[in-house]
Chains A and B, each alone.
Chain A
């Protein structure tokens, strides 16, 4: 059974969605469904499925290796391993936060895609240290 949803989204959400879709060959609708499915996954799933951690770590390794010399945020966040992590949904959230604590990196787009929130204040845009702090503060507030 399927349901039809008509959504209005602001440009700051639609534009990166359309851009990622263009680069991956998917449609914005297909990506939105994937992200919605991830957001709808029950929280705490990671604890119930400890087997996802090795897969998560392997995806992180692949992504870091493939994007080592990349400056393009577009290329970084549309890499298949990065998208696969987003596709793991809320189950990946504790692992992503742990990764951000251990070895800060550009997980901000994945975190926003999974949680549907963006705790980064406009005043620190582009500052990876401050963006990391904003997400770790959010994680603490949410018991992660």
Chain B
């Protein structure tokens, strides 16, 4: 495990993770959780940065819920694997969203770490002082992304 990773995410020491893509400044965790690899999603108050149309550009959980609602997600109780659904977990630090992870079909999770690499992991691996804790789960029916784009 790369030392700079375990420094930021100490839980990696015990739980580990798998690197799945190289570092890229082209997309971030929110875009990756939303299924995008060519955009940087963040509610920054500048038109250069992507944020779904009509959703407030503020760093609040509600704004993030609305952003994911625009692509078919709604809140759910747990991150347990549910047949027919895909899920997103939202991490927050001091009440502000910091990170999102997307569930894979085997129940593990995939994350883009800022401008760094993509990994597959368990949710607790990324909890700590960098991203805070998982505070919410969202889900949508599998295939809802195609339905949204029709």
Contact = CB atoms under 8 A, between A and B. Distances in A.
Interface residues of A, number: 29
Q: Which of A64, A120, A125 neighbours the largest number of chain B CB atoms within 10 Å of its CB? A: A125
B105 interface: no
Contact of A126 (B8, B50, B113): B50
Contacts of B27: 128
B130 interface: yes
Given A71-B29, A72-B98, A105-B115, A126 B45 contact: no
A70 interface: yes
Contacts of A48: none
Interface string A98-141: 00000011101100100000101010011111010000000000
Contacts of B48: 108-109, 112, 118, 120, 125-126, 131
Given A125-B49, A129-B26, A69 B114 contact: yes
Contacts of A15: 45, 57
Q: Which of A104, A128, A131 is the most central at the interface, judged by chain B CB atoms within 10 Å of its CB?
A: A128
Instruction: Bin the interface of chain B by size.
Output: 20 to 34
B47 A125 contact: yes
B143 to A, nearest CB: 25
A138 B145 CA distance: 36
Contacts of A74: 42, 44, 59
Given A105-B25, A129-B38, A71 B47 contact: no
A16 B114 contact: no
Nearest to B27: A128
Contact of B115 (A70, A108, A112, A126): A70
A73 interface: yes
B141 to A, nearest CB: 26
B85 interface: no
B42 A73 contact: yes
Nearest to B5: A69
Nearest to B32: A71
A111 B33 CA distance: 29
B24 to A, nearest CB: 9
8 contacts: A68-B4, A69-B114, A71-B29, A71-B98, A71-B114, A127-B50, A128-B25, A128-B26
Given A68-B8, A128-B40, 6 more contacts: A69-B115, A71-B112, A73-B40, A77-B44, A109-B46, A128-B26
Interface of B: 4, 8, 25-31, 38-42, 44-51, 57, 59, 98-99, 112-116, 130-131
Q: What 5 A-B pairs come out closest when comparing CB atoms?
A: A126-B50, A15-B45, A73-B44, A126-B39, A71-B28
